[in-house]
Amino acid sequence: MPDEFVNAVADVLEDLRRQVVEAVADLDDEDINRRFPGLRNTVGILLRHIAGSERYWVQGIVGGATVLRHRDAEFGPDRLEKAALLATLRTVGEESARVLAQVTPERLAGTVRVERARGSAEVTRTWALLHAVQHLAYHLGQIRQLAALARHARAATPAS
């Protein structure tokens, strides 16, 4: 049975995912694939990336599952579908909740070698869990900004 800390983290992750879904609720596939000058990411890319990241950090590092992640591919230029991305995010969230329901304080205290964008590092699983939260929160802010830009661009585009 997880402790109060793990329950709190699980609740925060669930709330952040809910906020992501709310932030993109009125966007369509065109909006989530819209690119803006000077910016690399789209809403769709970030949706794919946060699902891949949570799967790696929570299910893989904290939970111990084998997760084959190709981080660079998460930022690929392919056209993405909002419904499929949200379904993946929902599935990842459900699996993360199952993992966290089984995590013990002893497991969190253990260390593990992880691969990060800046190279490998030795971290505790507690660190990995907190990283998952801060990473999702960071990208939620970006998603909100890109969603606002997409809405503005849509409103400024004359109807055909």
User: Mind listing the pLDDT tens digit for each residue in 96-155?
Assistant: 999 999 999 999 999 999 988 788 999 999 999 999 999 999 999 999 999 999 999 988
Domains in the chain, number: 1
Could you tell me the CATH number of the domain that includes residue 87? Answer: 1.20.120.450
Residue bearing tokens 């419904």: 83
What is the spatial distance between Cα 69 and Cα 49, in angstroms, rounded to a whole number? 10
The two tokens of residue 74 are 């998460």
Percent of the chain with pLDDT over 70: 98
In degrees and rounded to multiples of 5, residue 36 shows phi and psi of -120, 145
Burial class (CB in 10 A: 0-12, 13-18, 19+), 112: middle
Q: State how far the Cα of 82 lies from the Cα of 155, in Å rounded to an integer.
A: 19
Q: What does the pLDDT read at residue 74?
A: 81
**Dist CA 157 CA 160 (whole Å):** 9
CA–CA distances in Å: residue 137 to residues 65, 68, 81, 107, 109: 23, 23, 22, 24, 23
Radius of gyration of the chain (CA): 17
Three-point CA angle 16, 21, 26, nearest 5° = 145
pLDDT, position 160 = 63
* Residue 80 pLDDT greater than 90, yes or no: yes
| Per-residue pLDDT at 77 exceeds 90 | no
Helices (H), the chain: 4-23, 29-32, 43-54, 71-74, 82-102, 105-109, 125-156
Instruction: Please give the distance of CA 156 from its chain centroid, rounded to a whole number.
Output: 30
Structural domain for 65, as ranges: 4-156
